[in-house]
């Protein structure tokens, strides 16, 4: 991890609004996000925001991988989509 990254919105894909939601959900630092992982962080987001969407899940994964979420592998996007669908049942 880059030592200069101290705030969530310093990460790729994490803007002010998503950073605020993560903090409200109890994830306050980039290190906490990396520790939780995208799926668990998304579950925490879903507990405070019933309107969470697949793009937020992709954004979290991209932030963890240090890439734009658009550049996630097709396979990883499909895994995340299946996870997202399983939560909506």
In 1-89, beta strands by DSSP E = none
Instruction: Find out whether 24 and 48 touch, Cβ atoms under 8 Å.
Output: yes
Asked if residue 38 belongs to a domain, the reply is yes
Range of the domain at 19: 8-87
pLDDT score recorded for residue 77: 98
pTM over 0.85: yes
User: Among 36, 38, 46, which residue's Cα sits nearest to residue 88?
Assistant: 46
Residue 71 CA to residue 89 CA, distance in Å, equals 27
pLDDT of res. 64? 97
* Cα 26 from chain centre: 13
Q: What is the pLDDT of residue 5?
A: 77
Task: Give the position of tokens 């030592």.
Answer: 3
Average pLDDT for 72-77: 98
Number of domains in the chain: 1
In a domain, 2, yes or no: no
CATH number at residue 47: 1.10.150.20
20-67: per-residue pLDDT in tens?
A: 999 999 999 999 999 999 999 999 999 999 999 999 999 999 999 999
């Amino acid at each position: 991890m880059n030592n200069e990254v101290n705030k969530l919105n310093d990460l790729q894909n994490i803007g002010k609004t998503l950073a605020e939601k993560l903090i409200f959900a109890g994830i306050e630092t980039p290190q906490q996000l990396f520790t939780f992982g995208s799926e668990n962080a998304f579950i925490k987001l879903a507990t405070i925001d019933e309107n969470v969407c697949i793009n937020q899940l992709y954004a979290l994964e991209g932030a963890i991988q240090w890439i734009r979420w658009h550049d996630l592998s097709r396979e990883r996007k499909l895994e995340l989509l299946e996870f997202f669908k399983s939560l909506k049942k």
